[in-house]
Amino acid sequence: MNKLLNLMSAAIIVSALTACASSSPAASSQNPAAQPESGGSLITVGFAQVGAESGWRTANTDSFKSYFTEANGFNLIFSDAQQDQNKQIAAVRDFITQGVDYIDIAPVTTTGWETVLQEAKDAGIPVIISDRKADVAEDLYVTYIGGNFEQEGKDAISWLEGYLAENNRSDEALNFVHLQGTIGADAQIGRTKALDDAVAGAHAGKWTIVAQQTGEFTEAKGQEVMEAILKNNTDVHVVYSENDDMTYGAITALKNAGINHKDVIIISFDGNKKAIQMIIDGDIDCVAECNPLLGPQVGDIIKKLENGETLPKITYSVESVYDIKNAEAHLPDAFGS
Ligand code: GYE
């Protein structure tokens, strides 16, 4: 069933990507929508990226850089904020000063965007929010495209419930270590809420979070934080890690502490090729997928805007859950390395 769903979602993504590619500005040079501004000039897009903290992020950046090319009719101005919101806001102001045609922001955190988005609006520059949501009034941006993070978390919890039931472990008291992403990022808020709700609700009294700390979505910080946590808690049954990179770090920390990580249920998010391989190798138990390949989809949004089309306010990526039952089939399609 899972496998079927995965194959279906992979097919949807592939067909969506193919659709984007075949209707790209480069492929339709007679289409005036491709070069609308001054017949032949490029569309300038400023992309305020979060940083380079993870494999997901690298794949996301690559996806934008390989889509928004001159050959495709675009001039991309790329900015890396190194996970610092002030830098990201400064980059957006710079895009406004330069008079770009479109701005795409992947907001580091959900809050703090009103002022600069109002400035973009006043300058008449449409803003697309991708990857993580910003908590602002709907008239300050055109559309959001990216993951549904609370749903990803709920999918991971459902997977765990199913796994425990299959192994006759549903009644066990379980200690969780919870490694959170960058605090205040939409991806952290949603994934954290799903676990917090499960622990306070359906599993109250049975599931305990013994440590809940941010590893800032990086492998190094994930390892460092996990090492510190293991000094006080050696009885860990589940690691719920909000991205693959922190998961790699946590596994190293478990090994260094002399704990067999294969005895711990390890739940991760994203779905890098390396993490999918680690499911096959028995190192990771479950990965809730998050799709980073948003470049062509944002390109498609821009083309629609150029055509005067109205877009939905939110478009969520189609996402699956991977475990030992479907990892092998997904491996060739997994992103990154
Ligand atoms: O899960 C993590 C990255 O915002 C969905 O950011 C993204 C998250 C992703 O650093 O690996």
Nearest to 265 by CA among 251, 245, 253: 251
* 53 Cβ inside 6 Å of ligand 1: yes
Global pTM reads 0.88
Indicate whether 173 and 233 sit together in one domain.
Answer: yes
Structural domain contains residue 15: no
Ligand 1 centroid to Cα of residue 217, in Å, is 7
182 and 327 belong to one structural domain: yes
95 alpha carbon to ligand 1 midpoint, in Å? 24
Which residue minimizes the CA distance to atom 5 of ligand 1? 187
- C-alpha 37 to ligand 1 mean position (Å): 34
The pLDDT tens digits for 29-69 are: 333 334 444 456 899 999 999 999 999 999 999 999 999 99
Sheet containing 238-241: order of strands: 207-214, 174-180, 238-241, 265-270, 286-289, 321-322
Question: Distance from the CA of 265 to the center of ligand 1, in angstroms?
Answer: 21
Does residue 3 sit within a domain?
A: no
The reply to whether 245 and 142 lie within a common domain is: no
Q: How many whole angstroms from 60 Cα to the centroid of ligand 1?
A: 9
Q: Could you tell me if residue 160 is inside a domain? A: yes
State whether the beta carbon of 187 lies less than 6 angstroms from ligand 1. Answer: yes
Q: Mind listing the pLDDT tens digit of every residue in the chain (337 residues)? A: 343 334 334 333 333 333 333 333 333 333 333 444 445 689 999 999 999 999 999 999 999 999 999 999 999 999 999 999 999 999 999 999 999 999 999 999 999 999 999 999 999 999 999 999 999 999 999 999 999 999 999 999 999 999 999 999 999 999 999 999 999 999 999 999 999 999 999 999 999 999 999 999 999 999 999 999 999 998 999 999 999 999 999 999 999 999 999 999 999 999 999 999 999 999 999 999 999 999 999 999 999 999 999 999 999 999 999 999 999 999 999 999 9
Bridge-based pairing state of the strands 321-322 and 286-289: antiparallel
Examine the domain organization and report whether 156 and 82 are in the same domain: no
**Domain span at 126:** 43-147+292-306
87 assigned to some structural domain = yes
CATH number of the domain residue 179 falls in: 3.40.50.2300
**Cβ of 131 less than 6 Å from ligand 1:** yes
Rounded to an integer, what distance in angstroms lies between the CA atom of residue 319 and that of residue 330?
12
Pair 262, 170 in one domain: yes
From the CA of 269, give the closest atom in ligand 1.
Answer: 1
Residues of the chain with pLDDT > 90: what percent?
Answer: 88
Total number of domains constituting the chain? 2
Determine if ligand 1 sits within 6 Å of the CB of residue 191. no
Q: Ligand 1: which atom is nearest the Cα of residue 53?
A: 10
Query: Would 161 be classed as within a structural domain?
Result: yes
Q: How far is CA 130 from the centre of its chain?
A: 10
Ligand 1 atom with least separation from CA of 146 = 5
CA-nearest residue, atom 8 of ligand 1:
187
The finding on whether 243 has its CB within 6 A of some atom of ligand 1 is: yes
Q: How far is the CA of 148 from the centre of ligand 1 (A)?
A: 12
103 lies in the same domain as 118: yes
Q: Which atom of ligand 1 is nearest to the CA of 132?
A: 4
In a domain, 1, yes or no: no
> Which of 49, 57, 273 has the most ligand 1 atoms within 8 A of CB, as the residue to mutate?
57
